[in-house]
Amino acid sequence: MGVLKDSIGFLGVGLCGGNFASRFAEKGMRCLCINTSASDLNAIESGSIKKHVVGGHGSAHNRAKSKQLINEDFPRISELLEDSFAGCGIIAIIFSSGGGVGSGSSPMLLDYMSSTFPEKIICGITVLPANSESIKVRENALECFKEIESIKGMGALFVLDNQMAYNRLWLNASFCDLFCEMLEMPCAGSSSKKTSDGILKEMLAAPGCAVMAKTPKSMSSTGSIINSLKHSSYSPFSPGRAKYLALSMSTDIDCEKVKEIFGDPSETFIGISGKSTILFATGLNIPSTRLQNLREVLEADAEERMRSLSSRVLVDSPDLNPGSNKIYKPVKLTREELFAKYIHK
């Protein structure tokens, strides 16, 4: 990697963000990890700079708590941000949308850095929870995206989705590997004055969502790169016109068919590669359909939980049904016997 590698930095927030940043650090990228949990930070063995938020002992999916802790320690955090990313023209903040510290504080950090450093490109990399994850995690994700959508001035947002990933460790590794390859992809526009690095910076600066896809040269075809995108770990983006599309081809690809997927982008950049075919699109709509699905599943789970609680009412209990004529005498139990009703071994 060339100029872009040296000009980009990664801020991993929380456990999820730290795991991603650790992967980038292994590739020699500049990384900073912050967390309210010291044990989570200690688990990161890569060359990332690590900052434990003062007073933090983990956030336990509590967004409000993480915001408060970050706010109280922000004078130290802001100094570390400036020192760690001095000279970086691009900063990507990585976090889980459903966690505690990542979900709670990352929108705040994205907003702060976008407004404080307008000369830098501030991007986001986040992960949506699967429908099977806890109610709290899914509620956090929806609240997180509500905050993200109100941020002005930030660049591209990569939205990965645990619902689409069959293996989360693979998700981390495959995304980081492809991101680094994307930074090297050759592409050219209608103007010969634009370099590949300049084009990619312009694309990363575009607000809205971003996606990437890749096929090795041995499998490269129009169908395979489209299938690679459709079966990727990104949250499905909502229909609409992309702002930019870059396509680095290792074999002959029908660019018009690829462009159709993105609503005929405002500008398309084409390049030739001898290694693999890489697709990169930015300026896409937020995955509103997926977020609505997450909301609907969450509401259905809440209704089921209420029905389940209602079904547990002991209809013959005189305490819960005062109109019952039956008289019950309490059974004297030892503390161990009483607790055994609640503790399942």
Q: Phi/psi of residue 220, each to 5°? A: -70, 130
Instruction: Name the residue with higher pLDDT: 320 or 297.
Output: 297
Q: How far apart are CA 128 and CA 142, in angstroms?
A: 9
DSSP, residue by residue, 77-91? HHHHHHHHTTT-SEE
Task: Give 161-174 pLDDT, tens digit per residue.
Answer: 999 876 777 788 89
**Biggest CA-to-CA distance, the chain:** 90
Task: Note if the pTM is more than 0.95.
Answer: no
Domain 3-290 has CATH 3.40.50.1440: yes
Instruction: Judge contact between 154 and 207, C-beta under 8 A.
Output: yes
What DSSP character marks residue 60? T
Task: Give 196-211 pLDDT, tens digit per residue.
Answer: 999 999 999 999 999 9
Q: How far apart are CA 190 and CA 254, in angstroms?
A: 18
Chain position carrying tokens 């708590």: 65
Residue 142 pLDDT exceeds 60:
yes
Residue 272 pLDDT exceeds 60:
yes
Residue 319 pLDDT exceeds 60:
no
Q: How far apart are CA 155 and CA 341, in angstroms?
A: 54
Q: How far apart are CA 244 and CA 30, in angstroms?
A: 26
Return the minimum-mean-pLDDT range out of 39-43, 126-130, 154-158, 209-213: 39-43
Instruction: Name the residue with higher pLDDT: 39 or 94.
Output: 94
What residues contact residue 125 under an 8 Å CB cut-off, 6+ apart?
Answer: 20, 92, 93, 94, 95, 157, 158, 160, 175
Percent residues over pLDDT 70 in the chain? 85
Q: Phi/psi of residue 122, each to 5°? A: -110, 115
Q: How far apart are CA 240 and CA 237, in angstroms?
A: 9
Residue 175 pLDDT exceeds 80:
yes
Residue 311 pLDDT exceeds 50:
yes
